[in-house]
Amino acid sequence: METEQQLGEIVIAPRVLERIIAIATSKVEGVYSLTNKNMSDSLAKSASGRGVYLQANEDGDLAVDIYIYLDYGVSVPAVAVAIQKAVKSAVHDMADVLLDAVNIHVVAIVPEKTPKPDLKDLFDEDFLND
């Protein structure tokens, strides 16, 4: 039986996980957009996750809080569960990281005829140059 040789350390920046979470969330049917939890986060450069707040406890378990707007007429519990599944799956598949909790915070329901923001609006800053 072959054993895997350790070639070095792999470090994944929290911003990478935040981006994965934001994209997975925005692709769930019924999600209008992500939003920061308060106005000061909107003004801070560190709020690059746009409504995604990742935290680790002292045991190393990771939890994420996601703040979202939903489309009018969707089942809030069904969309929330779909987000939780999509986020856990995406983070595990892409980064081999397990999330202990995915907490969904529905901030508002958006009226039917409101134009949906573009996915590229999540990434309007040049995050490689900071």
36-47 pLDDT per residue, tens: 876 555 444 444
Residue 75's domain spans which residues?
A: 14-110
Q: What is the mean pLDDT of the chain?
A: 82
User: Is residue 122 situated within a structural domain?
Assistant: no
First to last CA, the chain: 45
Section 66-91 average pLDDT: 96
Residue 22 is predicted with a pLDDT of 93
- Has residue 32 got a pLDDT over 50? yes
Instruction: Give, as one character, the DSSP assignment of residue 33.
Output: E
Residue 115 near residue 76 (C-beta atoms within 8 A): no
In degrees, to the nearest 5, what angle opens at C-alpha 65 toward C-alphas 56 and 105?
160
pTM: 0.77
Cα–Cα distance for residue pair 68/52, rounded to 1 Å: 9
Evaluate whether residue 4 is within a structural domain: no
Domain tally, the chain: 1
pLDDT at 124 over 60: no
Domain-embedded: residue 57: yes
